[in-house]
């Protein structure tokens, strides 16, 4: 058994067939983690004892011929901003360094109900703010394809874990590209579902109107399988959608793209984009044509203008969402203070990282009464407009293709000093969050020096089925 090569579907089948026991598998995985993760630094917390306990429960079920869950025995890594009962959930922040939630996020509950095995919690940019996982307060995660480079972010640990075969699949969260960009950088598959498809209960909020949890996997089918488990209405999340499909996302996933109408916004390729990525995208477009889809270039001027609205809205919401970390009830508390206000100010100043502070300040500014009209209100207007434009496109077309990133992952430390360039990386992904649309990032080639390139497939609200079908057709069922 080469665990690093197995997909979730293969593991479930292998366990049922008796090829290997779940305990054996999990033990093997931890052995591998101890070797591989020394270089990668994908995990912040491992929960080996619990995982082995859960694995033995799965084996017990197999022995007693009980019905096994959809993710039976599948080792899963969880981004460290998704709450896990009695397991530290730090958001890679000094603020929550010792925070142990007394509850599971709804997605964790669902994974456990389907017999998945939680392996550990993965590194990320602090509170999901960043695109390189360099903003973690604890660790620098490396890109498995080039240890000198970043894995992307903010779900960098989750993507690197899957890419290096130390998790079979993982959950990330995506506010402006935080699943898709690291998936592209690490050469794996990452899906950001439609806003409202997956419950946010238990996901530590960055920007509530943009955040979504989604899977990072080695195959499109694993992605569909994981979505089957985590998607669905949750009464604990008022923004979760009631009108959802009940049949499996695996159903019809092999139907191909014949007859699908796919477009590329013209503006994408005229942008300041790495030429190797540009070529790979154009090649991919041709491939979709060969697979039977109609492919067209159309003008969609709002597509690459969403970045400032994204930063205004996400920072505004973040400034409010992160207010609760005041050192009063839980989390980091400064050692010395003379009154309660100093306690709050010092705790926040000492425990938040630079990027988090920058966004809190920016968000506070754009919501303040003197700037609200000029920034926040305008951003909301743009957001409405963007949604309208996307809607128009989807009246005539099934899917939109685009790059995921402008460039390849930077060298560790290289871009940290260039904030503008760093944040500009979200240009192709954040607009999708603003419009609440689903989008997947799948590998579509490699650079001459071996770095993976990702392509993004965007669909209309709740068109995950179509997206997965196109992705599966493109990759020809291959695992990455």
Contact between residue 273 and residue 403 where contact means Cβ atoms under 8 Å apart: yes
Q: Give the residue, chosen from 4, 52, 208, 245, that forms a contact with other proteins under the rule CB under 8 A.
A: 208
Contact between residue 311 and residue 424 where contact means Cβ atoms under 8 Å apart: no
Q: Give the residue, chosen from 74, 91, 257, 457, that forms a contact with other proteins under the rule CB under 8 A.
A: 91
Torsion of CA 236, 237, 241, 244, to 10 degrees: -50
Residue tagged 């809190």 (tokens): 360
Phi, psi of 48 (to 5 degrees): -65, -45
Contact between residue 19 and residue 1 where contact means Cβ atoms under 8 Å apart: yes
What gap in Å lies between CA 68 and CA 71, rounded to an integer? 8
Report if residue 369 touches other proteins, rule: CB under 8 A: yes
Residues 92-131 that bind other proteins (CB under 8 A): 96, 99, 101-103, 105
Q: How far is the CB of 181 from other proteins (least distance, A)?
A: 23
Report if residue 386 touches other proteins, rule: CB under 8 A: no
Maximum CA extent, the chain: 70
The closest alpha carbon to 426, from 176, 162, 151, belongs to 176
Catalytic residues: 79, 154, 178
Q: Give the residue, chosen from 40, 203, 437, 473, that forms a contact with other proteins under the rule CB under 8 A.
A: 203
Q: Which is nearer to other proteins, 317 or 472 (CB)?
A: 317
Q: Which two tokens stand for residue 166?
A: 């130390």
Residues 56-85 that bind other proteins (CB under 8 A): 81-83
Report if residue 147 touches other proteins, rule: CB under 8 A: no
Q: Which residues have CB under 8 Å from 307's CB, separation 6+?
A: 423, 424, 426, 427, 430, 431
Report if residue 320 touches other proteins, rule: CB under 8 A: yes
> In this chain, which stretch among 14-22, 33-41, 218-226, 320-328 interacts with other proteins, using CB under 8 A?
320-328
Report if residue 387 touches other proteins, rule: CB under 8 A: no
The closest alpha carbon to 40, from 143, 186, 184, belongs to 143
Report if residue 376 touches other proteins, rule: CB under 8 A: yes
Q: Give the residue, chosen from 209, 248, 279, 447, that forms a contact with other proteins under the rule CB under 8 A.
A: 209
Report if residue 45 touches other proteins, rule: CB under 8 A: no
> In this chain, which stretch among 12-20, 236-244, 267-275, 437-445 interacts with other proteins, using CB under 8 A?
236-244
**Beta pairing, strands 261-265 & 294-298:** parallel
Report if residue 237 touches other proteins, rule: CB under 8 A: yes
**Beta pairing, strands 189-192 & 439-446:** antiparallel
Q: Which is nearer to other proteins, 164 or 170 (CB)?
A: 170
Contact between residue 118 and residue 112 where contact means Cβ atoms under 8 Å apart: yes
The closest alpha carbon to 230, from 8, 479, 451, belongs to 8
Report if residue 347 touches other proteins, rule: CB under 8 A: no
Q: Give the residue, chosen from 244, 364, 387, 447, that forms a contact with other proteins under the rule CB under 8 A.
A: 364
Report if residue 236 touches other proteins, rule: CB under 8 A: yes
Binding site for other proteins (CB under 8 A): 81-83, 89, 91, 96, 99, 101-103, 105, 200-205, 207-209, 235-239, 316-317, 319-320, 323-324, 326, 328-330, 340-341, 344, 364, 367-369, 372, 376
């Amino acid at each position: 058994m080469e665990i690093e090569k197995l997909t979730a579907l293969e593991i479930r089948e292998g366990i049922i067939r008796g090829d290997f026991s779940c305990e054996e598998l999990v033990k093997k995985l931890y052995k591998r983690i101890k070797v591989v993760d020394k270089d990668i630094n994908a995990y912040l917390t491992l929960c080996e004892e619990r995982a082995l306990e859960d694995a033995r429960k799965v084996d017990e079920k197999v022995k007693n011929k009980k019905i096994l869950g959809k993710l039976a025995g599948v080792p899963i890594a969880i981004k460290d901003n998704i709450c896990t009962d009695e397991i530290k959930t730090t958001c890679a922040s000094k603020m929550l360094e010792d925070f142990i939630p007394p509850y599971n996020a709804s997605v964790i509950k669902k994974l456990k109900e389907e017999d998945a095995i939680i392996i550990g919690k993965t590194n990320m940019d602090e509170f999901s703010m960043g695109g390189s996982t360099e903003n973690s307060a604890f660790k620098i995660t490396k890109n498995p394809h080039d240890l000198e480079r970043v894995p992307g972010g903010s779900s960098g640990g989750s993507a690197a874990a899957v890419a290096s075969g130390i998790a079979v699949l993982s959950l990330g969260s995506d506010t402006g590209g935080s699943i898709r960009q690291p998936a592209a950088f690490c050469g794996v598959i990452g899906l950001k579902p439609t806003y409202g498809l997956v419950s946010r209960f238990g996901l530590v909020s960055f920007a509530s109107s943009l955040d979504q949890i989604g899977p990072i996997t080695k195959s499109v089918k694993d992605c569909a399988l994981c979505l089957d488990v985590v998607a669905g209405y949750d009464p604990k999340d008022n923004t979760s959608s009631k009108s959802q499909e009940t049949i499996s996302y695996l159903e019809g996933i092999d139907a191909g793209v014949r007859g699908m109408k796919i477009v590329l916004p013209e503006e994408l390729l005229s942008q300041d984009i790495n030429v190797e990525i540009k070529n790979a995208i154009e090649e991919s477009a041709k491939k979709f044509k060969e697979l039977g889809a109609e492919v067209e270039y159309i003008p969609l001027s709002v597509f690459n203008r969403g970045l400032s609205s994204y930063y205004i809205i996400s920072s505004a919401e973040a400034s409010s969402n992160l207010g609760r970390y005041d050192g009063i009830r839980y989390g980091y508390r400064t050692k010395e203070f003379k009154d309660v206000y100093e306690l709050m100010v010092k705790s926040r100043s000492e425990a938040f990282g630079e990027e988090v502070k920058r966004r809190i300040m920016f968000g506070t500014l754009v919501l303040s009464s003197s700037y609200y009209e000029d920034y926040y209100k305008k951003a909301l207007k743009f957001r409405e407009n963007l949604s309208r434009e996307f809607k128009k496109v989807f009246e005539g077309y099934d899917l939109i293709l685009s790059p995921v990133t402008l460039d390849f992952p930077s060298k560790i430390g290289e871009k940290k000093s260039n904030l503008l360039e760093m944040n500009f990386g979200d240009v192709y992904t954040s607009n999708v969050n603003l419009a609440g649309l689903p989008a997947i990032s799948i590998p579509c080639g490699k650079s001459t020096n071996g770095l993976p390139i990702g392509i993004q497939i965007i669909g209309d609200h709740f068109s995950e089925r179509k997206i997965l079908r196109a992705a599966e057709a493109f990759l020809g069922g291959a695992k990455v």
